[in-house]
Chains A and B, each alone.
Chain A
Amino acid sequence: MKLGVYICHCGVNIKANVNVAKLTKFAEQLPRVRVARDYLYMCSEPGQQLIKKDIEEHGLDRVVVAACSPRMHEITFRKALRSAGLNPHCLEIANIREQCSWVHEDRMKATQKAQKLLAAAVSKAALLEPLEEKEVEVTPAALVVGGGIAGIQAALDIADTGYKVYLVEKEPSIGGHMIQLDKTFPTLDCSACILTPKMADVGNHPNIELFSYSEVVAVKGFVGNFEVTIKKKPRYIDETKCNACGQCAQYCSIEVPDSFNLNLSKRKCIYIPFPQSVPACYVIDPDHCRYLLTRDCTQCLEVCKQGTNAIDFTQKEELVEVKVGTIVIATGYDLFDVTTKPEYGYHLYDNVITGLEFERLSNASGPTTGEIIINGKKPKDVVFIQCVGSRDKTVGNEYCSRVCCMYTAKQAHLVREKLPQATITVFYMDVRAFGKGFEEFYDRVKQEGVKYRRGNPSEVYRRGDRLVVKAEDTLQGELVEVEADLVVLASGIIPNKQTAQIASLLKLSQSPDRFLLEAHPKLRPVDSASDGIFLAGCCQGPKDIPDSVAQASAAAAKSLIPLSTGKVIIQALTSFVQESDCRGCGFCVEACPFDAIELREVKRGRRVLEVASVNEVLCKGCGVCASVCLSGAIQQKSFADRQILSMVAALGEEYA
């Protein structure tokens, strides 16, 4: 066995804190090492050439690279090995940057640690075995979960490329939060105007199969071959027949708060969320429908029978199975629950509202047809409070919601437009106007006579028939009380309440802010940690519309890679069974979280016995099986007991 060891300076990132020359000398005397070199940037083209040349000239059969984390460049170096004709899995990386030079101050000790890490990598490398990477076919279809702007964009991009898309939306219509908004900052386009054509495109797209009023309930399989179970909730209306004539709603006698308008108005029990809904199909609210509850009302049924006869009370919940190659998650956000900040009085006063409620008030299709009327009156003094539920450790949200500064500025502008006489005050902590045209818009709003006061209000309370917002103006250094008859709370963004459920369904991780975690914050911002599953929009973190759209298109592009290549390489680090050692106890079968192991009969001499057998396609390579096996028969490739133990032994030695 011939090993090559390659030690990277990473410019000065490693070299500054690790004695690279000493490390190279040290590497030279390690067992089986044929050649040891150090280089400025091992990951660079010339660096990789060094490795390739040595593989060819010295006939190296294992390569150890001491550099940055394997999570950074393992793939880079594997490719280098492959191009030099060596199996890419004959590589071991010693992480002497992230876990050594960057975290230790004492150069001597960092060098000593680097020696140990390198010795461990060398001892493991000697035991590495070439692994075969297998390919599997990809189902040429994608699943998009969530029908907000991100989901819509992703679905359209994928479908336009010619692949089938299943778009699942839990609400009766796609559109998400964006369809509820009035104008969009900073350009002031009408949100619905720019969104509804895209929604219509979804509805009409030959490659998109829309599952509205549906949820994903189970996902099995792996990249290229996901099997998804979708639960279709009964609308009690035949989507193919309903022409959204609206007769039914006229006859329906039950009125319930209209959730689309954030309960600021009422709707009927049989309803369409909003006129441009896609699909353009009514839905019956099962919690309130008299027929469904007590069977004593058939008004809508009667009237519909005279029309398209679309109402069907016999509809049942339906489970549909689809097969897809990739999945885009675009489950969006929820608004921070402002009642958890009781000092702002949202639960007490009707004229304290949230930013989204303001959007509905201001929206021409909203409950007041766009007039800003609260308690029957046009407010004279309007106060906006920013950062409600954002940048606030007391409610567990340390992050900035990224949209509130600008939507507040936009809403202040709308107030100015609609109520030219009103005084408008914005309380803010910092104004973050970082996007294209944002600062200019903020400036414009200030010019329009909107008073920005720096300070985080401590309380909103009623004095007489008016509200008082109490705050410390931290620029003036004074306590201020501002009277208002409308207070708008710029509530922040939190992950959709179903995020945790989605995460466990798809085995995705969540970051501490509870948004879904991307595979890498810089380099893989739209990938999840699971192959074939991508993230778009606010499920990954707060975003404005252009960012959501951009990420959605990125996620679509990423998910198209396996679809268009038609093949994915399944990971090689699966488990394998040494059959002669297997006693067929089935502990691994029980322990495997992926049902990837089964017992299979084999003949051993005259005896027929059962041994474990791994389905490499289902195996995700966690190695749980290997840790419960008493006879050591099942092992994980590249993480076998003997490989791990060799590292343990090497780390236990002292090196000069």
Chain B
Amino acid sequence: MLKKFDPNIMAFLCNWCSYAGADLTGTSHFHYPPNLKAIRVMCTGRINPLMVAAAFRHGADGVLISGCHPGECHYMEGNYLARRKIFVFRNLLEFVGINPERLQMSWVSASEGKKFSNVVKEITEKIKKLGPLTTFDE
């Protein structure tokens, strides 16, 4: 029997907004699929797109980067800087034939616990539809 595809999704969440938002999701007991596993960073601006590539290489079928809404970065600009980098990297992924939908970015504030659970649900569904990422299987 074919094993049902259970995607591995890694998330990089900024400490101040999205990680706190994900905590609030927990405190509020909003449920979401366990496929997503978060790595806490202080700011999305810390994220180097090569970390995303590494996540794919190490077995992630999808990656989520989530931070503060524009203008609300705890460090003022980190999320803007991250957005630019991730935008470019998504284009690069698409150009080499990797579906850019596998790399998602969202803005989730510390107060948006519900939104975080919705984001996780949607991204999990999305990655399930896309199927496993086999490019880095070798």
Contact = CB atoms under 8 A, between A and B. Distances in A.
Interface of B: 8, 10, 15-17, 19-20, 22-27, 29-34, 37-43, 45-48, 51, 54-55, 57-60, 68, 71-72, 74-78, 81-82, 85, 109-112, 117
B8 A620 contact: no
B58 A652 contact: yes
Interface of A: 69-72, 95, 97-100, 102-106, 109-110, 112-113, 116-117, 120, 503-504, 507, 509-512, 517, 529-530, 573, 591, 593-594, 620-624, 626-628, 636, 639, 641, 644-645, 647-649, 651-654
Contacts of B26: 69, 97-100, 102-103
Contacts of B29: 102-103
B78 A116 contact: no
Nearest to A114: B34
Contacts of B33: 104
Contacts of A591: 45, 81
A98 B31 contact: no
A591 B84 CA distance: 13
A103 B117 contact: yes
A219 B111 CA distance: 26
Contact of A620 (B30, B32, B58, B75): B75
A120 B71 CA distance: 31
A106 B19 contact: no
Contact of B19 (A71, A103, A593, A647): A71
B122 to A, nearest CB: 15
Q: Which of A112, A628, A641, A647 has the most CB of B within 10 A?
A: A647
Contact of B51 (A71, A511, A644, A652): A644
B46 A624 contact: yes
Given A517-B110, A639-B41, A648 B58 contact: yes
A92 to B, nearest CB: 10
Contact of A106 (B34, B39, B110, B111): B34
Given A103-B25, A509-B17, A648 B46 contact: no
B23 A69 contact: yes
A480 to B, nearest CB: 37
A132 to B, nearest CB: 18
11 contacts: A71-B23, A99-B23, A509-B16, A509-B110, A529-B16, A621-B42, A623-B41, A627-B85, A645-B51, A651-B37, A651-B59
A624 B74 contact: no
Given A651-B37, A653-B59, 17 more contacts: A69-B19, A69-B26, A72-B23, A99-B38, A103-B25, A103-B31, A112-B34, A529-B74, A623-B45, A627-B48, A627-B81, A641-B51, A651-B8, A651-B39, A651-B58, A652-B55, A652-B57
Contacts of A507: 74-76
B42 A116 contact: no
A613 to B, nearest CB: 19
A315 to B, nearest CB: 34
Contacts of A98: 22-27
Contacts of A104: 31-34
A649 B53 CA distance: 12
A103 B111 CA distance: 16
